[in-house]
Amino acid sequence: MLKVGLLGAGRIGRVHAQAIAAHPYSELSAVSDALPEASARLAEEFGANARQSQEIISDPSINAVLIATPTDTHSDLIEAATQAGKAVLCEKPVDLSLERAFACQSVSKATGQPVMVGFNRRFDPNFAALKAAFEAGEVGKAELLSITSFDPAPPPVSYVKVSGGLFRDMMIHDFDMANFLMGDLPEVISAVGTSVVDPEIGAAGDVDTAVVTMTYADGRIAVIKNSRRAAYGYDQRVELLGSEGMLQAQNILENSVVKSTSNGVTGAKPTYFFLERYMSAYRAEWDAFVRSVNSGSGVPVTLDDGVAALAMAEAATRSAQSGQSMVLAKVLKPVAK
C-alpha cells in the first residue's frame, strides 16, 4: 500500500485526493495547504491528517508525494521530496522558469527517486487509443499532426498574471501531447499569439489565442491551436495524418443525442471543462504512477518530459514576442556562459 501525502488542497488537489483515496493500492495519509482551513477540509473529507508540507516530506512512513500547489512552488517541493526519498507525482508545468527547472532536474536525478509530471492527457482513453492505433502502424508513417485545444472561457486576469502565460500554463499540455504522439522533439518552433478574447489579457502581457507550428528533423509538421474561449465548450481534438490514413480523436459530448428536423441536424455540446472531460484520465494517470512505483519500473511521464515541454513553451513565448522562429536545441541546451 502506497502511503501518500498530498501537497495543495485546491482545484486539482481535490481531483487527485479522490483518485488516491479510490485506488486499491494507495492511501491518502496526509494533506497540506498554505491555507490551514483548505487542508483541514480536504483531509477530513478523505479521512486523512492535515499537516504542514515539510512535516509530510520528512515523515519516513510516507512513500509518495503528490504536488498540486501553485507552479512557482513545484521545483522547491520536487527537490525537497526526492531528497527525502519520496516518489513524486508533480502537476504541470515543472516551473515557470526553465533555468529553475533545469536545476531541479539535476538535483532530483541525483536522488534516483521517480518523478512523474502530470500530463494527464496522455492517459485520456481517446488519445491513448489514437496513440495505440498509430503505434500499431494503422495509418503508416506520421506526416502532419494537428492539435486543437480551446478552453470554454478565459480565466480571471489575476490568474493570467501569475500563470506564466498561455504557452507555459495551457499549451504545455499540447506540447507534451505532440511529443507523446510524434515520439521526438521538434527542431524549430514558430508561434503567433494575440489577445482577441479579452483585451485585459493583452494588457497583462499575455495572449489568449495562439497558433504554433513545429517542424521535425525528418520533415514532419505539427500544428497546435489554442484559444482561451470557445462559446460551445471545451474543444479538445487531435488529428494525425499518416502516409496510409488519418486518426482523429473527437470531443466527448454531454450526451449522444442527435436531433434531426426540418431545421437541421443538431447535437450536444462538448463537456464543459477539464474536470468533466478528463476525470477518467486523472484516475488512469494515478493508477499508472502507483503501478510504476510499486513495481519499480520507470514512470511513464518523466521529469525530462516535463522540462522538454517547458522548453518548448519557452521557445514559443520567445517566438511570439520576437516574430522569429526558434531552434529548440538552443533553448534546451543554452550555450554555457
Listed in sequence order, the DSSP H helices in 296-337 are 303-322, 328-332
Is the CB of 220 or the CB of 285 nearer to ligand NAD?
A: 285
Is the CB of 68 or the CB of 87 nearer to ligand NAD?
A: 68
Whether the CB-CB separation of 190 and 319 falls below 8 Å is answered with: yes
Which parts of 92-151 interact with ligand NAD (CB under 6 A)? 92, 118, 120
Is the CB of 9 or the CB of 115 nearer to ligand NAD?
A: 9
C-alpha to C-alpha distance for 263 and 313, rounded to whole angstroms: 44
Task: Count CB-CB contacts under 10 A for residue 255.
Answer: 9
C-alpha to C-alpha distance for 310 and 333, rounded to whole angstroms: 13
CB of 167 to ligand NAD, least distance (A): 13
Q: Is 226 in the site for ligand NAD (CB under 6 A)?
A: no
Whether the CB-CB separation of 326 and 318 falls below 8 Å is answered with: yes
C-alpha to C-alpha distance for 42 and 292, rounded to whole angstroms: 26
- Element containing residue 7 per DSSP (H, E): strand 2-7
Which parts of 4-63 interact with ligand NAD (CB under 6 A)? 7-13, 32-35, 38, 53
Q: Is 179 in the site for ligand NAD (CB under 6 A)?
A: no
Supply the DSSP symbol for 73.
G
Kindly tell me the burial class for residue 133, based on how many C-beta atoms sit within 10 Å of its own C-beta (0-12, 13-18, 19 or more). Answer: middle
Is the CB of 84 or the CB of 221 nearer to ligand NAD?
A: 84
CB of 285 to ligand NAD, least distance (A): 8
Binding footprint of ligand NAD, residue count (CB under 6 A): 23
Q: Is 152 in the site for ligand NAD (CB under 6 A)?
A: no
Whether the CB-CB separation of 69 and 77 falls below 8 Å is answered with: yes
Inter-helix orientation angle 303-322/98-111, to 10°: 170
Binding mask of the shown chain, residues 229 to 268, with x at each position contacting ligand NAD by CB under 6 A: ----------------------------------------
Residue at shortest CB range from ligand NAD: 10
Whether the CB-CB separation of 121 and 282 falls below 8 Å is answered with: no
β-bridge partners, 270 = 253
Is the CB of 67 or the CB of 142 nearer to ligand NAD?
A: 67
Whether the CB-CB separation of 270 and 235 falls below 8 Å is answered with: yes
CB of 327 to ligand NAD, least distance (A): 27
CB of 174 to ligand NAD, least distance (A): 12
CB of 67 to ligand NAD, least distance (A): 8
Binding mask of the shown chain, residues 54 to 83, with x at each position contacting ligand NAD by CB under 6 A: --------------xxxx-x----------
Is the CB of 143 or the CB of 300 nearer to ligand NAD?
A: 300
Inter-helix orientation angle 36-45/11-22, to 10°: 30
Which parts of 265-304 interact with ligand NAD (CB under 6 A)? 274
Is the CB of 95 or the CB of 198 nearer to ligand NAD?
A: 95
Inter-helix orientation angle 98-111/74-83, to 10°: 10
Residue from the set 59, 91, 206, 314 that interacts with ligand NAD by CB under 6 A: 91
CB of 39 to ligand NAD, least distance (A): 8
C-alpha to C-alpha distance for 262 and 142, rounded to whole angstroms: 41
Per this entry, what is the length of the chain? 337
Give the footprint of ligand NAD on this chain (CB under 6 A): 7-13, 32-35, 38, 53, 68-71, 73, 91-92, 118, 120, 274
